[in-house]
Structure 1
Amino acid sequence: MEHGMAQKNQSIVVGWDEWVSLPEMGLFAIKAKVDTGARTSALHAVNIEPYDKDGVTRVRFVVHPLPDRPEVEIKCDAQVVDVRDITSSNGESEERFIIRTHFSIAGQEWPVEMSLANREDMQYRMLIGRSTMSGRMIIDPDRSMLCGELSPNIYDQVNVRSEGEKKLRIAILSREPENYSTARLVDAAVNRGHSVDVINTTRCYMNITSKKPDIHYQGMSLPEYDAIIPRIGASITFYGMAIVRQFEMMGVYTLNTAEAIGCSRDKLFAHQLLARAGIGMPVTGFAHSPSDIRDMLQSVGKAPLVLKLLEGTQGRGVVLAETQKAAESVIQAFRGLKANILVQEFIAESKGADIRCIVIGNKVVAAMKRQAEEGEFRSNLHQGGSASKVRITAEERTAAVKAAKSLGLRFAGVDLLRSNDGPKVLEVNSSPGLEGVETVTGKNIAGQVIEHIERSLQRAPSRR
């Protein structure tokens, strides 16, 4: 047996919570809750990214070990030993990576298996499960911290964020440099020492070649950028995606890829992807032939029904049909104009409110509730709705992250409705506005976007 490893006959008496260490991870002090209801121990992790190295699957992730000090972040890397469906205490099942690392408590240390899960909103960033305790610990459920305290100040001695991080050259694709979201992203990047250019997407043109793909702007070849942030308006989706693809061909990191933007902008395709991923959403119908419209409406459900133009944005092109006959008339009229329409069930219990979740990477970083004006059936800040801070449930958080991931988006605004049978995803936006959510929540979303780009580029191999 290796020196320092605990022997099974040296049982440790522990309370219902304890300070522990995961030394291989650089997590020298982390407060954990003892949980006999959990088989496998769980560790808080965000920005989880699997990768292959020499035929072995590994995973990179970030841990914020101290709930009260979110600026402390430890970058970790471990071998994946399994992927399992883990059921949490609220009954939700989630597929998680399982890693193996050394666990240390009361001067003893042994290898354990641990699942990775986002516990950002939990008081304890780690749970100690039965497989870790078995044969090694005896629990006194009436007492706390029997094994002594570890000082969180230890992280002050650790280089949590390296001082010499590379300064980046970033381009923001936007036709509105004075727009709140664009300006905030510029400020956030500059405040972190990066250089930023705002580029009008429609003024870019391409040199498409396999030898040296290039992008020109206002008569000049653009410099080499480390990353781009696409803010592509709905009216230029096709051309904007072409420009983003060209940057991708040049090896530039894109916050959202052209493919992901395209998936989110095609509402029908987006709903199909969400359905394939098993994400809750309102019952949705789509038909081409006028002779099939009545049957399609009946398959969606009883009136009232919500009708949506596939090309609509910011709440425009959305109609509430109070009766099935009204729905048929509206659809027939729009089909006469060659416009495509989705039909969705009306979630009456939402009472004109929805929730906008901002997802960055694998995490919901902010959420707000949007309430429609009296007499309106759908909330929209562009059309007079109001917004307030909201605390979302674990189920809503999971649905938002899963929705963004199913479309391939690293940065997204996910709109949810609260229904009697759980959250329903309405829409996923690849260029969410920042003004409303930053104002309501007081959170620096723009800064978190830039931090995500920094972390992604630190993990990525050189592409040039």
Structure 2
Amino acid sequence: MAIPISQRIFVDAVTKYCLARNITVEVRSEGWLIVMQRGERRHLAFAYDVGLNSAVAHQIANDKAATAEVLQCSGVPCIPHTLFLGPKLAAYTRAPGSWETMLRLLAEHPNGLVVKPNEGTSGDGVFRVTTKRALELAVGRILAAYPSLAISPYVEIEDEVRVVLVDDLPVVVYGKERPFVIGDGRHLLLELALAAVPAGRRSTALPGLMAEIGRAELDAIVPEGERRILNWRHNLDSGARPVLLKQGETRDACIEMAIKAARAIGIRFGSIDVVRTDGAWRILEVNAGVKMEALSRSHPELAYAAYEAALDRVFA
């Protein structure tokens, strides 16, 4: 999802950091390139990357299939992701029969698959599929816009936690609470769901609800006191709410797992998504570009603190 420069807290955080420390800062390329200069030293930030990570670590972290491969080789529990190249890159692989492999994965996982761009953030272009036809449509839509895709088995995620690390230091740790409604025994799920959406977003929310839940379930009355999740995804851009984790066993377990993942890939500054499935914690994804627009709407001080901690390492 493209975010205007006026809304990118990354640009604001870097600019404020530099101005407070007599570092010359120049914002270029509509905010995607930031040039910082202190004395003879010049440093660049691009997109959401402050420049702490090596090029190889950055590339691996932004490649979902490569991340899963590295984590598996390193003994770090993770959700497996299988890479499939689009037509333009197919000539560079020796593995024939991609469609047959996809169908085999679908047959092996009766709960379905998650199909997504192999590179990308914010949950854009992510589909859960349970049928051959849905798989075909998802693959076609993704490969029309991206050079490759990754497929993972769909798993019931009990909890998802994001850990933002700077050199093994957890600067932000929060859970992602998916949007939900509580039934009253009188209203349809659709009525409850739309009532929970801000008035200005209701016209655009309806197609999303139809795609996520389905008409039959939306037209059913929700029993009193029953909790219904409105989105199977935990992305903040898809409506999930960040909830800061208190000190305790869950927070410690997620931090430990995130540090293992960061060390395996060589990431110094990144955000790691840790999920609990069947009672066990595993890594879902690693992001080298730390994007915190959604978090900053409720906790701007944490977003600024994370970027400040990373920039302190840059200029140490």
Does residue 114 of structure 2 align to residue 317 of structure 1? no
Task: Name the residue aligned to 2:160.
Answer: 354
* Distance apart, 1:436 and its partner CA: 4.0
Q: Does 1:398 align with 2:256?
A: yes
The 8 Å contact of residues 117 and 125 in structure 2, kept in 1 or not, is answered as yes
- Identity score, percent: 18
Structure with greater strand percent = 1
2:74 aligned to which of 277, 296, 310: 277
The whole-number CA distance in structure 1 between the counterparts of 2:59 and 2:150 is: 18
Amino acid at match of 1:347: V
Residue-pair matches, total: 247
Quick check: 1:446 aligned with 2:311? no
- Which structure would you say has the larger Rg? 1
The aligned amino acid for 1:305 is: L
Q: Say if 2:44 is the partner of 1:228.
A: yes
Structure showing the higher helix proportion among its residues: 2
On the 8 A contact 1:177/1:198 being kept in 2, the answer is no
Using the alignment, how far apart are the partners of 2:13 and 2:82 within structure 1? 38
Q: Does 1:185 align with 2:43?
A: no
The match for 1:388 is 243
- Which amino acid in structure 2 is aligned with residue 183 of structure 1? D
Distance in 2 between residues matched to 1:232 and 1:454, nearest whole Å:
16
* Counterpart code for 1:340: S
Contact 1:189–1:450 (8 Å) recurs in 2? no
- Any gaps of 5 or more consecutive residues in structure 2? 86-97, 180-228
Query: How far apart are residue 452 of structure 1 and its match?
Result: 4.7
Q: Residues 456 and 184 (structure 1 numbering): CA distance in 2 closer, same or farther, change over 3 Å?
A: closer
Is the CA contact 1:414–1:429 (under 8 Å) kept in the aligned structure 2?
yes
Tell me by how many angstroms 1:455 deviates.
4.9
Structure 1 counterpart of 2:136, from 329, 333, 355: 329
**What secondary structure does 1:348 align onto?**
coil
Q: Which amino acid aligns with 2:111?
A: A
Report runs of 4+ in structure 1 exceeding 6 Å deviation.
202-205
RMSD: 3.6
What is the identity, as a one-letter code, of the residue corresponding to 2:153? E
CA contact (8 A) 2:80 2:152 kept: yes
Asked if the contact 2:18/2:25 (under 8 Å) is kept, the reply is no
Gaps of 5+ in 1: 1-173, 206-216, 234-243, 245-253, 459-464
2:178–2:233 Cα contact (<8 Å) kept? yes
Q: How big is the shift at 1:332?
A: 5.2
Change (3 A) 1:335 1:318: closer
Alignment of 1:54-453 (within 5 A): 176=5, 179-191=8-20, 193-200=21-28, 224-232=40-48, 254-287=51-84, 289-299=98-108, 301-321=109-129, 323-330=130-137, 333-334=140-141, 337=144, 340-350=148-158, 353-373=159-179, 374-391=229-246, 392-437=250-295, 440=298, 443-453=301-311
Check the 8 A contact 1:280/1:422 in 2, yes or no. Answer: no
Alignment TM-score, normalising by the size of structure 1: 0.46
Tell me how far apart the structure 2 counterparts of residues 383 and 318 of structure 1 sit (CA, whole Å).
11
- Letter of the structure 1 residue corresponding to residue 67 of structure 2: A
Which protein, 1 or 2, shows the higher relative CO under an 8 Å CA cutoff with sep ≥ 6? Answer: 2
Deviates more, 1:420-429 or 1:326-335: 326-335
Shift of 1:316: 0.6
> In structure 2, how many angstroms separate the alpha carbons of the residues matched to 1:356 and 1:417?
9
